[in-house]
Structure 1
Amino acid sequence: MPARLRIVRLVFLFAMFGIVARLFYWQVLSGDKLQAVAEIQRSSTIEIQSTRGRILAADGYPLVTNQPSYLLFAYLPAISADKAQISETLSPLIAPTPLELKATPSAELTKSLIQDTKSEVFTKLTSRDVAWVPLKRKVSENTKIAVEKLAINGLGFENGQSRLYPEASMAAALTGFVGVNPSGSAQGYFGLEGYYDLELKGKSGFIKQERDAAGKPIVVGDFRGSGARDGRDLKTSIDRGLQLTIEAKLQQALVKYGAKSGEVVVMDPSSGSIVALASLPGYEQANYADFDTSVYKIPSIADTYEPGSTFKAMVMAMALEAGAIEPDTICDATCDGPVTIGKYTINTALKQYNPGQTMTNTLELSDNTGMIFAAFRLGKDKFAGYLHEFGFDTPTGIDLDQETVPAYRDTWGDIDLATGSFGQGLTVTSIHMLQVISAFANGGVMMQPHVVDEVIGEITQKIPPKMVKRIIKEDTARKITQMLSDAAHNGLPKWMLPVGYKVAGKTGTAQVPLDGHYDTSTTIHSYVGFAPADKPRFAMIVKLKEPTFSPWASTTAAPLWMDIASDLFIHFGLPPSPESK
């Protein structure tokens, strides 16, 4: 065989070997990978968005629901018209209005907003590194129709939803808002939206379909999909009428008393249901990004503070439960004057002293020296034990996002016990204080506070009241209730009590700790209690931060509590008692 022929044969053999080897690589070694790549190239996946669940008031009316919302986008390779002209035509339709920006309407401002939008749209349309650009989010149905009438090739809409708030910003902190997480997906933040995000958002579905080389669906091609599972609705225990009334009264109080912020929480002591929860200043959930992030949280569950004299009710209940005192126990020489512990001297608020006072008198007078007497009768170890027993170092379990739990010291000195007896040197949250005072109202049984009564979907899940535990005996609950009733009716707030009703409660004026000392110029005022005292229907806490009207809670927080209580008596159909008049 000629040498040239042998060379040709070898070339063909090597070529054939190379082809076989390559086919082996493609078909065997990389078959699965290449098949997956081909499937991606010839198919498309469309996400089917689930409908987010609604948040309902106790009467079934929506506090939060949904409305159609669209994303206007431009697919740049498909745009053939003049981009400057598109920007000129489109900007009047999608520019924000002065009202949307909470600005005073004017022709000049409107013209400026349209011009800014025109420049922004043109910049996006002339982008070089992308094929798809978003032009406007949260487009309304009317705006969508107006843009579609322009018939501009390359513009399109993605269907979506946005949250709608029929009651405007009412209960904003309670409901929370829906934002966008780092991956670009909608996510609930704060309040109910944050706590129940998984239940509310449901699960998105998808449609996967084969397409031809031109990108058109193949009718007989592979078609797969999974339907979306819509989110579930939340039915809450929130009373719309009370919520609206309480927010209005709280706003008036902030102005009247010059307070920086305020909060009110109303709870059914027998079930733990939260009837109303208000905190101001608030924000607009639909425009949450326009507000300072500090207003997003619910201060009643997220902020800790030194409770001041409202904590005297808790310490007195501890001492009663331990058998260290009785309501008529008479204070010894501790109450004759200032109390000295080590290098510290403790006075009463007005530096007035009441020798021979009973423990009931101590609460009526809000006397610090009497509280020190009761606390030292109780002892440091039992005091620390009751702090735990009352749940101050554990979450209440309320179904709202970002509950905070205060930290407590491991060891207690004499001065710590003394100051702790009147609510100084330790911190609480408002919801903890309300939970404990509600246990007193409920015969000593502590309930878990909750906002949601039902989770509604294909299957409705009712959430029953949950008993946490008994924290004091029923007899102790009767005693502390009578003592708190005497404090309300014989103490400083007595002149503002609703006529014909027996109230049990306690005021608190707390200084604000600042850099290792107390700022005497700023205080937190609160009132916590329940009513009617003999058959409680509601428990409530009111807190005002740094009011300037008065240094005492008896002239700020207490009047607000009594004012709201008067409405609650009417709302719940509770008639006045003749013997209480």
Structure 2
Amino acid sequence: MRSSRHTIAFSASPLLASRTPVWRSRFVLAVLALAFVTLAGRAVYVQLLGNDFFQKQGEARFARTIELPPSRGRVLDRNGLILASSVPAFGIWADGANPSDPNMGQLAKLLGMNKNAVAEHIKRSADGFVYLKRQVDEATRERIKALGMVGVSDTKEYMRLYPEGDAAAHVVGFTNIENKGLEGVELAFNTQLSGHAGSRRVIKDRMGSIIEDLRDVIPPVNGQDVQLSIDSKVQFFAYDQLRTAVELHKAKGGSAVVLDAQSGEVLAMANYPSYNPSDRRNLTGELLRNRTITDTFEPGSTMKPFVVALALERGVVTPTTTYQTAPGYIDIGRHRISDSHEHGVLNVTQIVEKSSNVGTVKISMDLSAQAMWTTFTQVGIGQKPVVPFPGAASGRLRGYESWRPVEKATMSYGYGLSTSLFQLARAYTIFARNGDMAPLTMIKANGAVTGTPVFSPKVAGQMRDMLALATGDEGTAPRAQTLGYSVAGKTGTARKVEGKSYGKKYRAFFVGYAPADKPRVVVAVMIDEPGKGQFYGGIVAAPVFSQTVQNTLRIMGLQPDQVVRPNINAVGAQESF
């Protein structure tokens, strides 16, 4: 048998067996080459020629401008002790976060918020930036950051601290969440304290974390410190004494002002009740007001010394001129003005010492309405205090042309006009400064100041003698006496208006200075609506003056000017009001 041999071709496929046309191969190679050139050109464009464009496009999607908040200036007392300062804090925010994030419960716990409330905030973040909580401390911020929640991040800010708390709240005031002053010194000096914010451009990743700093950094300008004339120790003692008196007498409240009589510096402005400036929830407007300077009232018998001083200045009376005050009242038209009890014949000095309404009215009858109005205006009644404090009241003093005889009479003992405690304290610097009234300042000053003349030094000296007797055993305020220092001053007790007439609620006052011969400080005290049947200024307000003066003079380093223990338990004369 003959064998045969078959040859097998390279491929049995007709397509593979056929030769590929040369033009097709060249076309494919051309396409590949063109694609390569295109990609290479694109790479060159992106990396070199179009780099700025694409970088800007990327920055537009992930770059952010971050505000760099300034540190608010500190508020300091006269000795450099801090009354208000700022510490770093963080605002936690969301932008496009996931409300179903498994860490939602932990986030809410760290923020001290309800989980549902946090979830609602985060839902709103789908439309853009929303704060979850402001002024979070560093430790909490780090724990939140560790959760790694997409779209939840933080911004640096500052939180305000008030070391003196309730005691200085009405002086210092407070700021809002944006660190803008809303009350007190924080508002009055907001521009100086605020500074100016800076900014920086950064790139953030999808979790909100900064991954790169860009250019264009504008550093913040921090706020300036403000050093007040306030002495934090004097402020605390005044506040503490007010609290004691208000609680002891079941009163509605109380206020006190302490001035340096020679420099015109305000050493303290205290009110009780007060508030915690770091926790202002559920507060009313009344509690927020610095009532020493915003609230006005009829000052009662504390106005009598100014009428007597005017009469002395005009030569109408001398300290020994006598008046018959029997039978203990005087009728002005259809109106009767009375003393607390009959005093009989009193000289001018005794009229001040005993606080006789009848005697003061009789002195005023020898003075013109215009003269009284001029003097009241000169001592600041009806004039807005020239201090940079929000809400400072001017009080009320009608033009003398409209005064009726009975109104002229009642104004002589402090009814029918109104003033603030701050104004009243300033008015008494006239007697403490040889007849001129000090310009007041809340900023620390150096040395004595030149005042505005109101009475002659001779008359001021005569009034100092009379006001010293008013705090003696036979006066209305022996309880104003204090250990180691001589004092002088005047009580006041005024009925409060209820509806359209005077009711059975009172304000008790004492305004005075110490030492009596060479005064350094003026202290004004008001207790509002004292209860328990005791409402006279000599009983309720004078003890606050006594303790405040003593502590203030010791803090100032002033040596005692008397060694005999004062008879501070003396009963004293009953005041007329």
For the superposition of Structure 1 and Structure 2, which TM-score range results when normalised by the shorter chain? 0.7 to 0.9
The 3-state SS of whatever aligns with 1:402 is coil
In structure 2, what is the equivalent of residue 55 of structure 1?
75
Deviates more, 1:122-131 or 1:249-258: 122-131
For 2:376, the aligned partner's letter is L
**d(CA) in 1 for partners of 2:288, 2:204:** 46
In structure 2, what is the equivalent of residue 418 of structure 1?
409
* Contact persistence 2:480–2:538 (CA under 8 A): no
Is residue 2:194 matched to residue 1:201? yes
**Cα 1:81/1:413, change in 2 over 3 Å:** closer
**d(CA) in 1 for partners of 2:258, 2:144:** 48
Is residue 2:92 matched to residue 1:72? yes
Measured against aligned partners, the alpha-carbon deviations of 1:200-249 in whole angstroms (never above 9, x if no partner) come to 1112233468999xx9999998x545432211111122222222222222
Residue number among 217, 222, 237 corresponding to 1:230 in the alignment: 222
Identity of aligned residues (%): 27
For 2:116, the aligned partner's letter is S
Deviates more, 1:286-295 or 1:259-268: 286-295
What is the Cα-based RMSD across aligned positions, in Å? Answer: 2.9
How many residues align? The count is 505
* Contact persistence 1:399–1:452 (CA under 8 A): no
**d(CA) in 1 for partners of 2:246, 2:551:** 19
* Contact persistence 2:172–2:185 (CA under 8 A): yes
What pairs with 1:300-449 in structure 2 (closer than 5 Å)?
300-332=292-324, 335-348=326-339, 350=340, 352-410=341-399, 411-449=402-440
1:320 Cα offset (Å): 2.0
**Cα 1:511/1:220, change in 2 over 3 Å:** closer
**d(CA) in 1 for partners of 2:447, 2:202:** 45
The 3-state SS of whatever aligns with 1:171 is helix
1:196 Cα offset (Å): 0.6
1:560 Cα offset (Å): 1.7
* Contact persistence 1:502–1:580 (CA under 8 A): no
1:463 Cα offset (Å): 7.5
* Contact persistence 2:496–2:507 (CA under 8 A): yes
In structure 1, what is the equivalent of residue 124 of structure 2?
127
The 3-state SS of whatever aligns with 1:526 is strand
In structure 2, what is the equivalent of residue 169 of structure 1?
166
Measured against aligned partners, the alpha-carbon deviations of 1:84-141 in whole angstroms (never above 9, x if no partner) come to x33212122111xxxxxxxxxxxxxxxxxx6xx1110112222376222211112111
**d(CA) in 1 for partners of 2:162, 2:213:** 45
Is residue 2:562 matched to residue 1:573? no
The 3-state SS of whatever aligns with 1:394 is coil
What pairs with 1:235-274 in structure 2 (closer than 5 Å)?
235-274=227-266
**TM-score under structure 1 length normalisation:** 0.81
**d(CA) in 2 for partners of 1:495, 1:93:** 55
**TM-score under structure 2 length normalisation:** 0.81
1:339 Cα offset (Å): 1.3
* Contact persistence 1:499–1:576 (CA under 8 A): no
Structure 2, unaligned runs of 5 or more? 1-56, 567-577
1:466 Cα offset (Å): 5.1
**Cα 1:433/1:276, change in 2 over 3 Å:** same
**Cα 1:164/1:210, change in 2 over 3 Å:** closer
**Cα 1:173/1:161, change in 2 over 3 Å:** same
Residue number among 523, 530, 541 corresponding to 1:557 in the alignment: 541
Deviates more, 1:163-172 or 1:149-158: 163-172
**Cα 1:128/1:285, change in 2 over 3 Å:** closer
Structure 1, unaligned runs of 5 or more? 1-37, 96-113, 454-461
1:406 Cα offset (Å): 1.4
In structure 2, what is the equivalent of residue 276 of structure 1?
268
1:66 Cα offset (Å): 0.8
What pairs with 1:93-112 in structure 2 (closer than 5 Å)?
93-95=110-112
**Cα 1:441/1:205, change in 2 over 3 Å:** same
**d(CA) in 1 for partners of 2:389, 2:538:** 30
What pairs with 1:487-502 in structure 2 (closer than 5 Å)?
487-489=470-472, 490-494=474-478, 497-502=481-486
**Cα 1:47/1:301, change in 2 over 3 Å:** same
Q: Which of these two proteins has the greater Rg computed from alpha carbons? A: 2
1:570 Cα offset (Å): 3.1
Measured against aligned partners, the alpha-carbon deviations of 1:336-387 in whole angstroms (never above 9, x if no partner) come to 4421112211111x2x222321111111111100010111112211011111
* Contact persistence 1:396–1:448 (CA under 8 A): no
Measured against aligned partners, the alpha-carbon deviations of 1:175-222 in whole angstroms (never above 9, x if no partner) come to 000015xxxx5321221111111111112233468999xx9999998x
In structure 1, what is the equivalent of residue 15 of structure 2?
none
**Cα 1:145/1:45, change in 2 over 3 Å:** closer
**Cα 1:407/1:576, change in 2 over 3 Å:** closer
Residue number among 535, 538, 548 corresponding to 2:521 in the alignment: 538
The 3-state SS of whatever aligns with 2:297 is coil
Is residue 2:67 matched to residue 1:82? no
